[in-house]
Amino acid sequence: MDLGLKGWKVLITGGSKGIGLACARAFVAEGAQVALVSRSEENLRKANIKGAYTVAADLTDAAAAAAMVERVEKEFGPLDVLVNSAGAAKRTDADDLTPAAWRAGMDAKYFSYINVMDPVIKRMGKRGRGAIVNVIGNGGKVASPTHLAGGAANAALLLATAGLAYAYAGRGVRVVGVSPGVTKTERVAEGLKAEAKRANVSEEQAYKQMISRLPMGRPAEPEEIADIVVFAASERGRYLTGANISTDGAASHVVI
C-alpha cells in the first residue's frame, strides 16, 4: 500500500529513541524526509538515521521550542507532519507526590507537546494542510498509582488533541492521538522499577505481573506503534482526525 508520504517533511520530537526512533525509521522507509528533535545531541548521533536533520532542544521551554520550529522550517522546510513523542513524566508513587512533582509531570509530557504544537499548527493552518500525531499513552484513561502526574498530563493531551482537531479541521489540518499501552522502551523499564518498589517485589516479579495482565501475553514493539502513527499521518488516513486510538492490545477493554 502506497501511503503517499514520498518527499513529505516530517518532524519527530523524541525521535532519538523508543517509539520516536521507530517512527523515524518507518517514515524514511516510506520515502519521507525526517527531522529529529531530542534534548541530547549524543542520543541524536546514536539514532543514526541517514540523511535526517537533527536539532537538540529542551521542549519544556516554550521559547526554545518555538525557536526550534522556526529553525526547522527555515533550514529543513515547511512541515507536512509533526509527530510528538518527546517527554515522559517520572514515575512516582502516590505517597511521594508533591505539587512540584505534579507540575514537573505536566512540564515533561503536556507542555513538551503543546510548546511544539502551538507554533506548528498555526503554520500548517495558514498553509491549509498538515497532520499532527501525538503519541500519548493509555495512562491518560486508566489511572495508575505510580503514574498519576504523567497520567494527568496524558489526559490533558487527549482533550487538546480532540479540541485542536475540531478547531483546525476546516483549515486542512488533522490532529490524531495514538495511545500505546506497555511497549518495549526505556520508559517502561523505568516504570517497572517504580512499580516494584510500590509492591515491594523484585523487578523480575513486577515484569511477570505486568505481562500476566496483557491479553496478548507480551508488550508492544515500538515498530508496531510506529506503523499506526505513520498510517494516521499519511494520505491514506486523510479523514482521520480528532480520534485518540488506543494501541494497548486490548489491555483496557472498555468502550469510551
What is the C-alpha separation between 236 and 252, in angstroms, rounded? 27
Three-class secondary structure assignment of 162-221? HHHHHHHHHHCEEEEEEEECCECCHHHHHHHHHHHHHHCCCHHHHHHHHHHCCCCCCCEC
Positions of the chain with pLDDT under 70: 189-190, 255-256
Determine contact, residues 57/107, Cβ cutoff 8 Å. Answer: no
Quick one: angle between helices 62-75 and 112-127, nearest 10?
A: 40
Around 97, how many Cα atoms within 13 Å sit in the side-chain half-sphere? 21
Q: What pLDDT score does 256 carry?
A: 60
Single out the residue of 30, 27, 29 nearest to residue 2, CA to CA: 30
* 159-176 pLDDT per residue, tens: 999 999 999 999 999 999
Locate 138 and state its grid cell: 493509555
Give residue limits of the domains in the chain. Answer: 9-247
Q: What pLDDT score does 254 carry?
A: 72
What is the C-alpha separation between 88 and 155, in angstroms, rounded? 13
Residues 162, 168, 173: CA angle, nearest 5 degrees = 100
Q: What pLDDT score does 201 carry?
A: 87
Topology (CATH level 3) of domain 9-247: Rossmann fold (3.40.50)
In which residue are the cell numbers 521551554 written? Answer: 61
